[in-house]
A and B are shown apart, each in its own frame.
Chain A
Amino acid sequence: MKNAKQLNRRQFLTAAGAAAASVPYLIPSGVLAAPGRLGANERITTAHIGVGGRGGGLLREVTRFRDAGEVNIAAVCDIDKQRLDNAVKTAGEGTDAYHDYRHILMRKDIDAVVIGTPDHWHGVQVVHAAETGKHIYCEKPACCTIEEGKAMVAAAKKNKVSVQIGSQGRSQPEAYLAHRYLVNGNIGHISRVDCFHYPSPEDKNPVPDSDPPAELDWDMWLGPLRWRPYNKRYCHGVFRWLLESGGGQIRDRGAHVMSCAMWWMGADGTGPVTVEATGTAPKQGLWDSAVLMDVTYTFKNPDWVMTWRQMPNDQLPPAEKRTADELNREIRKISRPGYGAIYRGDKGEFIHWGGDGGTWAERKARNWEPPAGAKDVYKSPGHFEDWFKGIRTGSQTIMNMEAAAGVANLCILGNLSYQLGRKLEWDQANQTIVGDAQAQRMMSRPQRHPYHL
């Protein structure tokens, strides 16, 4: 059921058209718009695919925009019935519930989808949504294979849809301050960025395969992945620790920390020439992503190096202590110091912690007053707001599909080098691994019928 308040643009236009036919007057949208709100014909009608865990968080975020009159939430979808039921309660009366996301894609009244499914679904669902003309917000990392990333970029471009990938660190207020500080040469020429992160977890309590719980559609949870029996250690949430689906910390948080690094280094659209990884494997259990990890990405023209290191907790850089005065000035305490990056320039160093919803810049960037003539950088109005702007105006989103696939490729290549136990050469222009036939095959992964790109 949809109440009048939730009339979407197309329904409004239909209604307005009917009204125009019977009473030959067109009603300007501004007449219907409440003060301080967008007109009804500018509301974006969304649907949510994957509404547990992070997907549930995204749904709650979007309800804020719904309550502010910016969007309508038309539908929610999940393959876990309990999660779906909870989402219907969150989204409220009038929201349709679906098990199969393709029902949503078939609906003409839905403008945009918010995808919060496990990572192995991102590629397929983004491509399908783009092919059906939906604008897309999709959780990070963008993709699990190089080929998925290429298909996502092509589908978004061909269908002219606005895509925002959920590396929301780029939209954080302190990310803007860090970016501005770095591009103005405050630490000089930066030739090295060292990303740090605490280890991926090991499964301390492995369990045998079993029947899936009644509320879960195991076939659809697997989707494009090859079939295997259900095991509790695949889902929910813990899919992150499997190389096939989540890819471990490097893909989960690397898609945040390296996203900031690529943006601030002006390196979106570029890629490394070599990638070399080593790591420590878990000693038991289903999860197979590296517990500790060292990856080196070498970039050329311009020359710089980025590293990704999952290290023991006692080796992580300590968090900067923020004064009581700072905390009173809407500056948040660094609550998650366990990941971030150190930027090393020829005139100094700079640290930022986090890189996702929590992004904290070192004090010197926060206190820096730009002199006259200083360069400014894009300041995101917020990750969702930036996406809405992209939908309404066609502007490029801050974590657009090309940038997000580029960052995901870094994470993917790091894992491939770890799995293969050898250095890889990457050809950015042709988006391919060079001189390693096996690694080239691993750039894609055949998908189960009918869940394919």
Chain B
Amino acid sequence: MSTNDFKKASLAAGAAATMTGKARAARRNRGVKRLIRRIEDSDAETRTEAWQSAGDVGAPAVQPLALVMTHEDLEVARAAKRAMWKIVRHAGRPGAPNAKTAVVGKLYGLLGADQPVSVRREVLWMLSEIGGMRAIKPIAELLSDKHLREDARMALERIPIQRAVQALKAGFEIAPEDFKPNLAQSLRKRGVNVEGYPCVKLVPTK
């Protein structure tokens, strides 16, 4: 094969690959749109079938579903939330690291202040199940958010990597006094010796 022929063949293969990639993306988009349409359906059975099938749609559906999680129809919002969880549970299966990485990436994109608190809270718990190294920083940033700090603490407590412990320690150093006992609780749970802020679990408060 001459150099020119090789270039032509390469270009053709590239174009074919692009076409395949575009076709795949188009199919994915159709899958996401169909999922959202069925999640928003007025029929309970259709919604249920939709959220149960969401696992296969995967990461591309995460952000569109997050938008529906605050839908004015409570049952539609609930179906969207359950679809998100289905995706998380499917992505965390053994032997699917790429699917998990893709979903985690979409999830921590939903932790920003532009999202409703209810969505961010749910996402923190999703990340507590499948989040790894990359999820720690965005979760740790929420230790200073008065609405979400307790959920962020619990999510970090659950993620079984040393980086999560470091984030809890760092959070403890700068936390306001009223939140330090909570962080001390998580740190002790993770085997860290904490000076002061003794455990108050047995102290009556009410």
Contact = CB atoms under 8 A, between A and B. Distances in A.
B145 interface: no
Contacts of A440: 160
A438 interface: yes
A128 B201 contact: yes
Contact of A438 (B92, B150, B154, B206): B92
B40 interface: no
A284 B155 contact: no
Given A99-B206, A128-B202, A227-B150, A438 B75 contact: no
Contacts of A64: none
A102 B154 contact: no
A105 B204 CA distance: 9
A427 to B, nearest CB: 15
A208 B56 CA distance: 30
B154 A105 contact: no
Given A283-B45, A448-B154, A436 B128 contact: no
A246 B5 CA distance: 69
Contacts of A206: 74-75
Contact of A102 (B45, B158, B203): B203
B201 A446 contact: no
Interface stretch (A176-184, A357-365, A415-423): A415-423
B94 A435 contact: yes
A284 B150 contact: no
Contacts of A422: 93
A445 B128 CA distance: 9
A102 B92 contact: no
Nearest to B124: A226
A319 interface: no
A444 B160 CA distance: 11
B185 A450 contact: yes
Contacts of A131: 202
Nearest to A220: B206
A283 B202 contact: no
Given A100-B204, A102-B204, A442-B129, A449 B158 contact: no
Contacts, number: 100
A281 B150 contact: no
B79 to A, nearest CB: 9
B206 A226 contact: no
Contact of B89 (A217, A220, A421, A451): A421
Contact of A281 (B48, B129, B200): B48
A420 B89 contact: yes
A436 B74 CA distance: 33
Nearest to B89: A420
A74 to B, nearest CB: 16
A227 B90 CA distance: 25
Interface in B136-165: 150-151, 153-155, 157-160
B175 interface: no
Given A436-B94, A441-B128, A441-B158, A226 B204 contact: no
Interface string A216-251: 010010000011000000000000000000000000
A103 interface: yes
Contacts of B92: 420, 437-438
A20 interface: no
B93 A420 contact: yes
Contacts of B52: 281
Given A217-B206, A226-B151, A284 B44 contact: yes
Contacts of A444: 158
B102 to A, nearest CB: 15
B74 A208 contact: yes
A60 interface: no
Interface in B15-32: none
Nearest to B131: A441
B101 interface: no
B150 A448 contact: yes
Contact of A449 (B125, B150, B155): B150
A220 B89 CA distance: 29
A446 B157 contact: yes
> Which of A131, A422, A451 lies at the interface centre, i.e. has the most chain B CB atoms within 10 A of its CB?
A422
A452 B185 contact: yes
Contact of A226 (B125, B129, B203): B125
A419 to B, nearest CB: 6
Contacts of A446: 128, 153-155, 157-158, 186, 189
Contacts of A106: 202, 204
Contacts of A100: 204-206
B181 interface: yes
A380 interface: no
B55 interface: yes
B94 A103 contact: no
B119 interface: no
Contact of B129 (A103, A421, A438): A438
Nearest to B132: A437
Nearest to A288: B82
Nearest to B182: A449
Contacts of A132: 202
A432 interface: no
Nearest to B100: A438
Identify the 7 closest CB pairs spanning chains A and B, nearest first.
Answer: A438-B92, A446-B154, A102-B204, A449-B182, A100-B206, A283-B44, A100-B204
6 contacts: A208-B74, A217-B206, A226-B151, A286-B78, A438-B129, A446-B158
Given A100-B204, A226-B151, A438-B130, 12 more contacts: A124-B201, A285-B75, A286-B78, A288-B82, A419-B89, A421-B86, A441-B129, A446-B154, A446-B155, A446-B158, A449-B150, A450-B203
